Structure 1
Amino acid sequence: MTFTGALFDFSGTLFRIEPVRSWLRTVLDECGLRVGPRVFERYVRELTSAGALPGGPAPECVPHHLAAAWADRDRSAELHREAYTGLARQVALPDPGLYDALYARHMSPAAWRPYPDAERVLRGLRRDGVAIGVVSNIGWDLRPVFHAHGLDSLVDAYVLSFEHGVQKPDARLFRTACALLDREPARVVMVGDDRRADGGAAALGCAVRFVEHLPVEERPDGLHALGLTRTA
């Protein structure tokens, strides 16, 4: 089938967040805090286990008092911050200001890297005349990330869960994206890394394709391998 529209997830699909180790190291350095190597590695392990880095490893266990915020974390900026700073606070870091600093760091464009083939595929779709949208479960505005990495000109529409109060797999997000692109869902493909969340597009009749949520170095051509473009 020839698609006239393509929707992409953000985290784990087009971009990947930095590892927990560099996330923590950058924030400690910016805050002028020094900890020994053993303590640092313990913090890395504990933050990883807690699932405190948005876009990073999932929590091994969500505390009861955060369960409601976690379930609806992508419906609003407030719930997203509450959920992730709450997870981070399970780890006894040396300064109480670090929790907000860590949360702020994950929203920085410098904390994100595009997958090696992301620009190639997006440009190929653009040359093919395909309209492009980004549909993301997220609690903050990711547009500056695309701008900083020079990919914003390749995206026609952004549909972000926190701006609509709706999370994938709710079909309303995908319907909104198709409407913004002025494309019929049956001629649109959704690309993501989460089979449940991104698979929700199938309810509208969209085709769905999946990539693996891997570190950037381990997935050099996962998007290109989907064969979405004629010219890339």
Structure 2
Amino acid sequence: MAAVLFDFSGTLFRIESTESWLRAVLTERGLALPEPELTVAARALETAGALPGGASPERLPQELAAVWGVRDQSAQLHRSAYTGVARQVALPDPALYDALYERHMTPAAWTPYADAAEVLEALRERGISVGVVSNIGWDLRPVFREHGLDPYVDAYVLSYEHGIQKPDPRLFKVACDALGVVPHDVLMVGDDRRADGGAAALGCAVHFVDHLPVSQRPDGLRPMLNLIG
């Protein structure tokens, strides 16, 4: 393999829990909810699929179905989709919906998987290029910089910057071109069999990891090193 492409959320990084997300925003805005109410609200937000990088909606409102399907094609669509599903949940201040969206874009909301740095460093030592290919509506580069992983990444290919989202093979082609490699020499690593599996149509090898909390997946990335020799 000449290069490895990684997904972002659920592959290299994991978003905080829905309860932590809500609690942080309430604290930032000087608001408080009784613990039982906070727990209920957090569960409702999770069921709604309001946390980007978290659970998918259990029931998507019909009026949001169209934007949800293309949410990763632009920053505006991404914000509209996630604040839209969040607004299905009653919160004490209308400003909280945008505040929650802003929170999820901060480095503090994300934690790298325990073996992410080790694996990225190993690839760098072997002279293998690394790209990050993500369906996303905002610039994740500050997250990588804050957590010290940016030096290991040679190219970022973000759906909202190209108006294309996975599994469209064109997004993976952009990444291959950015790294100067041909698809048959590339391994795509991700957690979503549909989205990340789209790389196979281009001729890339594909390896899947489980989208689990950081504490439950201490070494999910290491096995892929065996695939590249």
**TM-score category (smaller protein):** over 0.9
C-alpha distance in 1, partners of 2:144/2:47? Answer: 29
C-alpha distance in 2, partners of 1:230/1:160? Answer: 24
Correspondence 1:188 to 2:205: no
Whether the 8 Å contact between 1:128 and 1:230 is mirrored in structure 2 is no
One-letter code of the match for 2:102? A
Partner of 2:112: 114
C-alpha distance in 2, partners of 1:190/1:57? Answer: 22
One-letter code of the match for 2:58? E
C-alpha distance in 2, partners of 1:196/1:230? Answer: 22
One-letter code of the match for 1:45? R
One-letter code of the match for 2:95? G
How far does residue 37 in structure 1 lie from its aligned partner after superposition? Answer: 1.1
Which of 74, 92, 95 does residue 93 from structure 2 map onto? 95
Partner of 2:81: 83
Identity of aligned residues (%): 65
Given the two structures, how large is their TM-score scaled by the length of structure 1? Answer: 0.97
Three-state SS of the structure 2 residue aligned to 1:135 is strand
Structure 2 unaligned segments of length 5 or more: list them: none
Correspondence 1:25 to 2:23: yes
One-letter code of the match for 1:84? Y
Whether the 8 Å contact between 1:125 and 1:229 is mirrored in structure 2 is no
Given the two structures, how large is their TM-score scaled by the length of structure 2? Answer: 0.98
Partner of 2:159: 161
Correspondence 1:123 to 2:121: yes
How far does residue 118 in structure 1 lie from its aligned partner after superposition? Answer: 0.3
Task: Spell out the pairing of 1:1-232 with structure 2 (5 A cutoff).
Answer: 3-228=1-226
C-alpha distance in 1, partners of 2:206/2:43? Answer: 35
C-alpha distance in 2, partners of 1:132/1:40? Answer: 40
Three-state SS of the structure 2 residue aligned to 1:191 is strand
How far does residue 12 in structure 1 lie from its aligned partner after superposition? Answer: 0.2
How far does residue 204 in structure 1 lie from its aligned partner after superposition? Answer: 1.1
Whether the 8 Å contact between 2:188 and 2:199 is mirrored in structure 1 is yes
User: What is the total number of aligned residue pairs between the two structures?
Assistant: 229
Whether the 8 Å contact between 2:119 and 2:225 is mirrored in structure 1 is no
CA RMSD of aligned residues (A): 1.1
